[in-house]
Chain A
């Protein structure tokens, strides 16, 4: 029996492999078991004075936190907040990475509700169910029923409080409509016709519609789902199965495709900021967007159309005659499971979502925050801040808006949907094909 001599090269290879696996082992052990959530006790005592809370927030909300909430929180509690703004298309992934990557830099997350399942699955949010039950001054019954559960409840547990009651309504430029002898559309057919007429007669000076088509769920997803809601459709049925090939969904996608040639060029390039800027500068006659546009549109420092705009509920279509909007985007505030100041973070969440703070933010142009409570939505102060739109906003937030899915796979399936829709808008496939392919993807993911 002969013994193979072990060369230095072989020794090095073996040592390298052993070292690599030694390094990998703890990662396997630590990463594979993630996803456990912890709960905050009902009687958790908070001492905010002297505590600095770090917040990761949606970029368009940064003014609300830094200009409105920070000073008040400091004055009322002696605590301090530090705000980090993140672009909306990276918010959920950054929040997951902050916890899973071990950085744990943040105490409070301003989260998308359709990312709630993914965040809970990642163990990134603290279960606040018991803690909410122990807060006698929280007045949870005042939160708008249309958003309270969708924004915060996942598999029977509550992981945050509603912060920004987001939904879309239809804004139009009165001046342009009057010039072309048009009335605000009540149906999506009327909307398409108005967009075509204005664009053709506008001679390139302005466009009939601004269609937000940036290829992310929060933008193109909203544009599709607004039309879907108008046609009385849903994304999933009562059992949770996708319904993307319904007649309503096909009609919604076909309308989205049909209006694109008559919209501000080019819809697939238009995101939130470009759309707002175009409408406020009078380049577009219609835009379906978030309700806080009503505050910006009347602010002469940013708007050229102050006093020259109107607002209606989203149009309807098909057999549906009742206006219905969708909970497009929408945010809650939750406590990061990596926070070292969980009771204080929870106290901040309660304080920031209280009626007084919500009213201040929902009445301030540029804050990007909409009502989250009935008392705010129906207050005289809010109506005074947004006299033109208050009634329409009330009708829609008091109604039964279409809710987006929030399973752990929701970010992926919504991205799959907008990818297919983008190809349809681009003309590479028809609406039915796009929705059939999206349906297949949703069925595959939701059955896992």
Chain B
């Protein structure tokens, strides 16, 4: 490499007459002085670099809540995480929850958005109703659902009796509790998907759809060949957001199932909380679990991001 590589590119703009105030170190077009970035770099260091280094420090040391960073422990915390009752399973459950939840909500959300778009370009009262679950705090959502599903005195008690399964308790079995959490999460977040996809549908050129229909395409074919390719980048972007939100689910678990029954609904964020702050106070292992979980989240979200890039490029 030579000095040529780092020299300022030639500009086609006319150089103003008179003395050059910037002297020989003329700035490149579009660049700002380095010192202007210092506050943001400082913020980045405080908010990102320091916690990350501290997290790594915890993961490789014997660290309790009371005494963090006691001594170097190599990979002992990762071994402990691997040996723990719930962590490995929690990774699997987190991936399933995030992906299944996103797929379920995308299917419902896209369907609802298409139906609403068929009514017209305005949401009206439906928009307000859709916002209600979104603006309800997750803790309130969890409490409400837990009360409704209570096996004794819950508002679903009569429903189960009418369906011929008196005393049914969906939170009483592992698969039931996991499915219930998925359903509650879908109840809260499907409107979010619906609103974003509806906005994308508004951007689809109606003339293209009409042209397709003139060419004999039915409703399904018009959707598949015209509408879907147009909204796919948005749908994948929403999928990415939903997967990330699904990985982060914590408050619902705390309120509705507390990870039970057994370990059936212990997802990774809840397991990390349990290890670090509830009962065990093992911050070293909790940090190791956090790093492993971050790796898993990174792999899954990278795959979705790649799929979205491909979709955008193909378009």
How far does the Cβ of B270 sit from chain A's closest Cβ, in whole Å?
11
Instruction: Let me know if B282 is at the binding interface, CB within 8 A.
Output: yes
Q: Digitize A267-281: 1 where CB-to-B-CB distance is under 8 Å, 0 elsewhere.
A: 011000000001000
| Bound Cα distance from A215 to B266, whole angstroms | 12
Question: Which of chain B's residues have a CB closer than 8 A to the CB of A21?
Answer: 53
Residue in A12, A34, A269, A420 whose CB lies within 8 Å of B172: A269
User: Are A422 and B261 touching (Cβ within 8 A)?
Assistant: yes
B278 CB-CB contact with A under 8 Å: yes
CB pair A415–B280 under 8 Å, yes or no, is yes
Which of B50, B70, B260, B278 interacts with A93 by CB under 8 Å? B278
Q: Which residues of A contact B166 (CB under 8 A)?
A: 204
Q: Is B8 an interface residue (CB 8 A)?
A: no
Least Cβ distance of B210 to chain A in Å?
52
Query: A266 contacts B171, CB within 8 Å?
Result: yes
Interface size on A, residues (CB 8 A): 53
Question: What class of interface size applies to chain B in its complex with A?
Answer: 35 or more
**Of the candidates A32, A97, A204, A266, which one forms a contact with B65 in the assembled complex, judged by CB atoms under 8 Å apart?**
A97
Q: Is the CB of B68 within 8 A of A31?
A: yes
Of all chain B residues, which has the CB nearest A266? B172
Instruction: Select from chain A the residue with minimum beta-carbon distance to B61.
Output: A32
- The chain A residue sitting closest to B277, CB to CB, is A93
The CB with the most chain B CB atoms within 10 A, among A19, A124, A216, is that of A19
Q: Which residues of A sit under 8 angstroms from B138, Cβ to Cβ?
A: none
For residue A27, CB closer than 8 A to chain B, the reply is yes
Q: Contact: A121 with B66, CB < 8 Å?
A: yes
Say yes or no: is A175 at the interface (Cβ < 8 Å to chain B).
no
Decide: B66 and A124 in contact? CB cutoff 8 A.
yes
> For chain A residues 161-181, which have a beta carbon within 8 Å of chain B?
none
Q: Do A100 and B279 touch (CB < 8 A)?
A: no
Instruction: Closest A residue to B46 by CB, please name it.
Output: A23
A384 within 8 A of B: no
User: Which residues of A sit under 8 angstroms from B282, Cβ to Cβ?
Assistant: 412
20 contacts between A and B (CB under 8 A): A23-B50, A24-B53, A27-B69, A28-B69, A34-B66, A93-B277, A96-B65, A100-B68, A118-B281, A122-B64, A122-B66, A214-B258, A265-B152, A269-B260, A411-B280, A412-B281, A423-B85, A426-B174, A426-B262, A426-B264
Given contacts A93-B278, A96-B66, A215-B258, list 19 more A-B pairs with CB under 8 A. A16-B41, A20-B49, A23-B50, A34-B67, A89-B279, A90-B277, A92-B281, A96-B281, A100-B65, A215-B259, A216-B279, A266-B151, A266-B172, A268-B172, A269-B169, A269-B171, A426-B260, A426-B264, A428-B262
**Chain A to chain B: the 4 pairs with minimum beta-carbon distance, closest first:** A122-B66, A415-B279, A266-B172, A265-B151
